[in-house]
Amino acid sequence: MSERLRFKVEGMDCASCARKIETAVKRIGGVSEISVNTMTETLTLQATRATAPAIEQVVRALGYPPRLIEPLTLTEAPPMTTPEAAGCGCGHDHGHADEHDGHVHDHAGHDAAKVAASAEAADAHDHDHGKPLDGPWWKSPKGRVVLASGGLIAAAFAAGWEFPAAEFWIYTAAAIVAAFPVVRHTLAAARHGSFFTIEMLMTIAVAGALLIGEAGEAAVVVFLFACGELLEGVAAARARAGIKALATIAPTTAQVETEAGVVEMAVGRIAIGATVVVRPGDKVPADGTVLSGISAVDESALTGESMPRMKHAGDVVFAGAINQEAVLRVRVEKPATDTLIARVVRLVEEATEAKAPTERFIDRFSRYYMPIICGLALLVATVPPLLFGMPWEMWIYRGLTLLLIGCPCALVISVPAAMASGLAAGARRGLLVKGGNVLEQIGRVKHIAFDKTGTLTEGKPKVTAIVALGAATETDILRLAAAVEAASSHPLAVAIVGHAKERGIAIASVAGGEAIAGKGVGGIVEGRTVLVGAAARLGLDAATVAQSEKLEADGNSVSAVVVDGTPIGLIALRDEPRADTLQAIEEIKALGLQPIMLTGDNKAAGVAVGRLLGIEARTGLLPEDKLAAVKLLAADGGVAKVGDGINDAPALAAATVGIAMGSGTDVALEAADAAVLRNRIGDVAALVRLSRRLMAVVRQNIWIALGLKAIFLVTTIFGFTGLWIAILADTGATVVVTANALKLLGEKGK
């Protein structure tokens, strides 16, 4: 049966590598939906498990060591209650699944494995191209080629002074040493369907230079190409580091409570519901709920929040957060494969697979560009000698130079390198984006549409005013109201009780407390009958009702406090804007965007918040009304919709870009294209700035790649530049655009 297979493929440095692998794998029967991601070094496709060995054989033949990824999910792990089941407490994993170098042993595929093993034995020569640069560069296969060919070139240069006759042959040896892996990869790629590759261009150029007696040029060209390959590998590894760093945030082991005491075990083996002990200085091993303990927890690696947060019993903690002060006991709520950080890593990896519009255009362009350049080089090499009797050596040399200059590596890598850096940089700041296309679009929208409750506001009512009626003081009003509201879970009751506690008011005991249908809550406090409810429903005098309505006109919900039948005061409550909302709205306006509020709340509450923030407020909207408004804004220059609730999901999905608050519902997070994990409105402006900075880097990279090629194409045709300048321009441009993209990783967000 066909399934989704995922392979780790080491050594991919650029889009050219990805294209060779994709072309080769397409030729295997039964394989479809192929996706190659150079930034995460993965190959994902639809195929049967029996096809995996054939896929590995083809990819390995191209020079890229593959490995089938089969992660063990937490839900598959058996319950752990004893040290033996937990892994002996020594950190070793004695689970039934046999894991060898990252593979989970598949008993169903023995025959296919035998085929792969024999194929690998038949193809046992070393493919250096795919080896990752894990250690010092000089110990890598590419590094050894650079050192060997460079040493021979230096020897040839020295021989030119003392032994001129040997110079040509030493240069030839240097060219052969450096060109051997190139020629091997050229033949492998051609055998599997990729003819127009940089290796092919290099092979033709070196062979041609040797044939016309330019051994020195050939040696220098292929040496510079090897240097460029080495530098590309280093640059690609650095570009991937931002994404890989995310995966290292969560720990790999945890201290788990069992019947035999606390034992250490692999995080992937912890059962849901297990209790883990997190000591000061330890990282939280899994998403869960605090059972006991009070401690400050640093979540900056997950959300970018600079200040630690105090965690008490009942609070949620996330894998990768650092416990700072005291021991916490945490109940595991989610498997290791579904923690917040795991989802972030997975979404960032998937996002790098989703090509942005600019990247798709460059990819299509390069597919036509390569054959055109090859044809142009052929014309330059043959037309002047054939039609005008010019020297063959001169024009073959210029044709070969043109062939190298035309290589599109720098152009092709310019966009994905920037996109990967931008996505990783955003994730490190708590800005999660589900694709390069999304990140590209965010900076282009004209409107930002916000939900009110839980997005622009805290989502929790707060006391905004206490109005005394008669001789009662604010303290008396709040103390009596809190007494009868203390047993209620209604948001307004919780807000009144919380405000009383903040002011240090002792809450009196209540007798006979009860909810009175249609009116409010009441009870006996200090021998007096106290009732708290809406003024209009309690049958109060016209003057009190008028004062209540005045407060309601400002967007407040008003509770009247009545003692022994006489109103003594009014308490106004309102869902207030978040602390950073006003500044964030000003930042959004400064970016040239138009903020607007779309809310299902009543007109008074919505208009009051809109007036405080200085934005247009459209109130009383049902989900379908929000959807219609978003569609109109999307047609008028594009819109980013920001929300957190289930009722926001349709509008989030229909917007040009949907942005969910990190504390929002799962439905909203799934429907959205991006999320701000810190729940700060200011991060919406940060997303826009990141998008615009990213696209500026993309434009710079494209101009660098195309500009250098245009200059050297002209100078080559007129004979001003030679082979070694051509390859230096190409590999140099590739390294420059990659380094330029890496700037996004180092920039600090506001």
pLDDT, one tens digit per residue, over 191-209 is 877 776 767 777 777 787 7
Q: Which residues contact 508 (CB under 8 A, 6 or more apart)?
A: 479, 480, 483, 525, 526
Cα 597 to Cα 643: distance, rounded to the nearest angstrom: 10
> What is the rounded CA–CA span in Å between residue 76 and residue 336?
11
Q: How does the average pLDDT of the chain come out, rounded?
A: 78
Range scoring the smallest mean pLDDT among 92-96, 322-326, 357-361, 510-514: 92-96
Between 646 and 92, the more confident residue is: 646
Supply the pLDDT for residue 646: 55
pLDDT at 278: 94
The confidence band for 385, taking pLDDT boundaries of 50, 70 and 90, is very high
Rounded to an integer, what is the distance from CA 548 to the centroid of its chain?
Answer: 49
Provide the pLDDT for residue 423. Answer: 78
- Residue 245: what pLDDT? 64
pLDDT at 513: 77
DSSP 3-state percent helix, strand, coil across the chain (nearest 5): 55, 20, 30
Q: Give the confidence band of 736 by pLDDT, cuts at 50, 70, 90.
A: confident
d(Cα 526, Cα 516) in Å, to the nearest integer?
A: 20
| Mean pLDDT for the stretch of residues 497-526 | 84
451: annotated active-site residue: yes
Q: Are 413 and 333 in contact (CB under 8 A)?
A: no
Beta strands in 578-661 (DSSP E): 594-598, 616-618, 639-643, 657-661
What integer is the mean pLDDT of 300-316? 70
**Tens of pLDDT, residues 25-46:** 988 988 988 888 776 788 888 8
Active-site residue, from 287, 363, 451, 648: 451
pLDDT value at 234 more than 80:
no
- pLDDT at position 749, please? 45
- How confident is the model over 523-535, as pLDDT tens digits? 899 889 999 988 7
Residue 122 has pLDDT above 60, yes or no: no
User: What's the rounded mean pLDDT across residues 60-70?
Assistant: 84
User: What pLDDT does residue 30 have?
Assistant: 87
| pLDDT tens readout for residues 675-707 | 888 888 899 999 999 999 988 998 898 888 788
pLDDT > 50? residue 306: no
Res. 709 pLDDT band, cuts 50 70 90: confident
Residue with the larger pLDDT of the pair 144 and 209? 144
pLDDT reading at 113 higher than 50: no
Per-residue pLDDT at 244: 63
Give all strands of the β-sheet with 295-298 in edge-to-edge order: 309-311, 295-298, 322-323
What span, in angstroms and rounded, lies between the C-alpha atoms of 78 and 87?
A: 12
What is the average pLDDT across 517-544?
83
Instruction: Look at the block and give the residue holding tokens 């990252």.
Output: 102
Q: Is 246 exposed, middle or buried (0-12, 13-18, 19+ CB in 10 A)?
A: buried
pLDDT at residue 144, rounded to an integer:
85
